[in-house]
Amino acid sequence: LDYQHVQVPFEITLWIMLASLAKIGFHLYNKLPSVVPESCLLIFIGLIMGGIIYGLNDRSPPVMDSDIFFLYLLPPIVLDAGYFMPSRPFFENIGTILLYAVVGTIWNVFGIGFSLYGICQVKAFRLQDVSLLHNLLFGSLIAAVDPVAVLAVFEEIHVNEKLHILVFGESLLNDAVTVVLYKLFRSFCEMPTIKSMDIFAGVGKFFVVGLGGVLVGLTFGMTAAFTTRFTKDIRVIEPLFVFLYSYLSYLTAEMFHLSGIVAIIACAMGMKRYVEANISLKSHTTVKYFMKMWSSVSDTLIFIFLGVSTIGENHEWNWPYICFTVIFCLVWRALGVLVLTFFVNRLHVNTITGKDQFIIAYGGLRGAICFSLVFLLPDFRRKKLFIAATTVVILFTVFIQGMTIRPLVDLLAVKRKRESAPTVGEQIHIRFLDHLLAGIEDISGHWGQYYWKDKLEYFNSKYLQKILLREYDQPKSSIVLLYEKLERKHAIELAEAGQLGHGPSHPSLLKNNRTVITDKKLEDTLNPDVLENIQEILARNLYRIRRTGPAYNRHTLPGETEPVEHTKEILILRHRSL
């Protein structure tokens, strides 16, 4: 037996296997996921495993390594989040998200830091040796909402899109603020005296860290898109580039002390559009599948490790400090959301309701990022107290808040996400309105969201697409692109469901049949290919809308009309209109 030789890969594989099996077990009983969030259960499994390891070895189980967390477990989750980020609601609410992420986080850091310092002055608690700087440092790591925890809980409760993007976007973008404040306070703790210069430098760093991350991410994203131009003959390694470039963007950003999370999100959002157009359909399925798989496993491992690391003798249980930490985290977040939303609502027509504000405040879950940061603290006397407080805050938010948020959403009747995808008609209207609003903004001289969006779209179709896309001939009309996308999606669904015949496809069959000879005549009279193409698109889409639209119809009962009837009707209509 030669265990040592294979130890490293063997143990990693076993951990991943455990995580995957835990996931299967969790989904095996349908009742469980509807009561307890997955994250709670995974932490619970981790706690049990930690207890077993502790009981057997009689020493603390190994703590989750911060390096492993930041270098290997976090990037897949953030990549997945960035790649599948719904870009429209994100950019529509970018101002509000940034306000919550930047101002809100700073508010929380200083609020929690100063009030905990006040608690430390109470003699009965015996905490006088914890300085203000240490309290602020602790505040900086405990204030940030965790994207992993937020994703895990919010994915299951299906609140409306805007609410979701507000909480989730905040949790992702506050990384830049957390990185800066944490490193700032850490270096302040080690400095003998602090000059006012240092504080100004710290403020300047916000912009460097955040915008630098965006720049690094976009650079790698564009390079990735450009690389996939040349993979036509070797489709099989296409998915690799998506992963390699986004990981490189994360690592490069971390290397220069920029925000890796911001970088990888910028990279993923930047490249998605072009990569999707360049790579084959199978490659894209692989990319999507593997991203989901990877992030899902990382997520599981993080929660299990969180549980395992909780057990042990790393904690100093000073209960007043710990309890006040939990209370201040809740209070300052609630206050922050209230105050910031007050200003946001004054500027916008589409306001954030009171219920939504409550869910935003209540959904401020803490997770593995705080946990890793607290272990990265330099050794000092009260480190164990901070570890204990962080652990309790995480467990409190994930267990108590995570488990009660779903009943609360039901109780308050918070607006839910619409289940059905938007119809083609709706999508066309949205696009039309975008153009209209861009025009209005242009005429009125107001450089708003739509104006910039239009300019960006122009820049994209004029320059970027020519460089980054392989099959770039002429800018196709966006309605054709949209149609192609829907068509492809539908084809895959059909293939999956196995409802596909070996026979010739629909149009060729129609052409060869006597009953629809009108179609043939039509084609003879209208030779230009483009027109035929558009007609085909419209004919099919109209039919599709009827099916996916509301079932109510003044003349027919739902399900009465046959699909063929639709097609015929469209043909007749088309014929008449000419």
Q: Give the C-alpha separation, 256 to 209, whole Å.
A: 9
Q: Give the C-alpha separation, 401 to 416, whole Å.
A: 19
β strands within 135-273, DSSP E:
none
Among 158, 162, 183, 292, binds a second copy (CB under 8 A): 292
| Residues sharing a CB contact under 8 Å with residue 461, sequence separation 6 or more, in sequence order | 475
Q: Give the C-alpha separation, 113 to 151, whole Å.
A: 26
Q: Which is nearer to a second copy, 118 or 504 (CB)?
A: 504
Is 484 near a second copy (CB under 8 A)?
yes
Among 56, 530, 564, 578, binds a second copy (CB under 8 A): 564
Among 248, 338, 479, 571, binds a second copy (CB under 8 A): 248
Cα–Cα separations (whole angstroms), residue 449 to 93, 108, 164, 488: 10, 29, 21, 31
Asked if residue 131 lies in contact with residue 153, where contact means CB atoms within 8 angstroms, the answer is no
Is 507 near a second copy (CB under 8 A)?
yes
Main-chain phi, psi angles of 416, to 5 degrees: -95, 170
H helices of 311-353, in order, are: 319-347
Q: Which is nearer to a second copy, 530 or 564 (CB)?
A: 564
CB of 194 to a second copy, least distance (A): 23
Is 509 near a second copy (CB under 8 A)?
yes
Total of residues contacting a second copy (CB under 8 A): 86
Is 263 near a second copy (CB under 8 A)?
no
Show the binding pattern over residues 35-74: x = contacts a second copy (CB under 8 A), - = does not: --------------------------------x---xx--
Main-chain phi, psi angles of 481, to 5 degrees: -60, -45
Q: Which is nearer to a second copy, 3 or 552 (CB)?
A: 3
Of the candidate spans 148-156, 207-215, 283-291, 336-344, the one that interacts with a second copy by CB under 8 A turns out to be: 283-291
Asked if residue 481 lies in contact with residue 461, where contact means CB atoms within 8 angstroms, the answer is no
Q: Give the C-alpha separation, 185 to 377, whole Å.
A: 11
Among 193, 196, 350, 499, binds a second copy (CB under 8 A): 499
CB of 33 to a second copy, least distance (A): 9
Is 544 near a second copy (CB under 8 A)?
yes
**How many Cα atoms sit within 13 Å of 395 on the Cβ side?**
19
Is 282 near a second copy (CB under 8 A)?
yes
Structure tokens at 567: 């097609």
Among 191, 237, 400, 531, binds a second copy (CB under 8 A): 237
Among 128, 187, 513, 556, binds a second copy (CB under 8 A): 513
Q: Largest Cα–Cα distance in the chain?
A: 96
CB of 424 to a second copy, least distance (A): 11
Is 227 near a second copy (CB under 8 A)?
yes
Q: Give the C-alpha separation, 477 to 575, whole Å.
A: 25
Is 193 near a second copy (CB under 8 A)?
no
Query: What distance lies between CA 224 and its chain's CA centroid?
Result: 20
Asked if residue 144 lies in contact with residue 369, where contact means CB atoms within 8 angstroms, the answer is yes
CB of 342 to a second copy, least distance (A): 40
Is 463 near a second copy (CB under 8 A)?
no
Among 58, 190, 379, 496, binds a second copy (CB under 8 A): 496
Is 32 near a second copy (CB under 8 A)?
no
Is 155 near a second copy (CB under 8 A)?
no
Q: Give the C-alpha separation, 19 to 287, whole Å.
A: 21
